[in-house]
Structure 1
Amino acid sequence: MTGDTLDFGPRRHPRRMSLTPMIDVVFLLLIFFMLSSRFGMDAVLPVTGGAEGTGSEWQGAPRLVDIAPAGVSLNGVAIDPEALVADLSALMPADDAAVILRPHQGADLQRLVDVMDRLRAGGIANMILVE
């Protein structure tokens, strides 16, 4: 102590705030929003209806291929996967007509890919995958 003043030693500078926690939070938010975003466009089947009386762009017979764990069915009727392309071709009004593929709960992804490959090899390229 010197006289009437107290001496606390050399004056320290206030500690700077660290930006590391804020940067961590920003990166976590960035990752969250990137993972929760949808980047692709869903294929939409254009169907109009209601009181307008207008038709839809869908033409011809229904072409719904169900992929189940036990097998494949066309419009609700069980079918041999080898005969799928031939039976679908009879229902197609045009070569570029759409076919709807609907995998069921428990169906293998490989079975779906096999059906899609079989249809592509048979000349059917316009496929719509629905849940």
Structure 2
Amino acid sequence: MHFADAPSPRRKPSLTPMIDVVFLLLVFFMLASQFGLDQVVRLPLAAAGNTAQAYSGPPRLVSITPAGVLLNGIETPLAELPDALQSLTETLNDPVILRGQEAATSQRVLDVLGHLQDTGFTAVVLVE
């Protein structure tokens, strides 16, 4: 009669190589990913003797509220704001004053600023 060898006890697999691979993947994805995009907001600086940025002409005060945009105190849709400002300026280099109201978020102010800069206004001045 032939007896089979007794089955050897199973070895438990080592988890060390798997943990090393997971750690290396974690480090790789942390180094390869971008957590946020940096964006530069260009604002002109007003100098005391700068005559190129001297304010002249009718008032151009854009007030930003959470609900909308006010041009010189009159509610103006954001899409119509550049056209309304062009009627108040001689060139696109004329200064436009941008002011955020108390409840307006910084993102809302940046959205309006970006919209004005995208339509060609280069001298947007942000005031508190």
User: Taking structure 2 as the reference length, what is the TM-score of the superposition?
Assistant: 0.58
**1:126 matches 2:120:** no
User: What is the one-letter code of the residue matched to 1:121?
Assistant: D
Alpha-carbon deviations, 1:44-74, whole Å to 9, x = none? 476xxxxxxxxxx321111000001221000
Question: How large is the RMSD of aligned CA atoms in angstroms?
Answer: 2.2
Kindly indicate whether the alpha-carbon contact (under 8 Å) linking 1:59 and 1:93 is maintained by their aligned counterparts in 2: no
Report the equivalent of 2:103.
Answer: 106
Kindly indicate whether the alpha-carbon contact (under 8 Å) linking 1:96 and 1:124 is maintained by their aligned counterparts in 2: yes
Report the equivalent of 1:54.
Answer: none
Give 1:41-120 correspondences, 5 Å limit: 43-44=45-46, 57-120=54-117
Structure 1 residues 79 and 96: CA distance shift in structure 2, 3 A: same
User: What is the one-letter code of the residue matched to 2:122?
Assistant: A
* Moved beyond 6 Å, runs of 4+: none
Report the equivalent of 2:51.
Answer: none
Structure 1: gaps spanning 5 or more residues: 1-41, 47-56
Give the 3-state SS of the residue equivalent to 1:66 in structure 2.
strand
Identity of aligned residues (%): 38
Give the 3-state SS of the residue equivalent to 1:82 in structure 2.
helix
User: Taking structure 1 as the reference length, what is the TM-score of the superposition?
Assistant: 0.57
Give the 3-state SS of the residue equivalent to 1:123 in structure 2.
coil
Structure 2: gaps spanning 5 or more residues: 1-43, 49-53
Report the equivalent of 2:36.
Answer: none
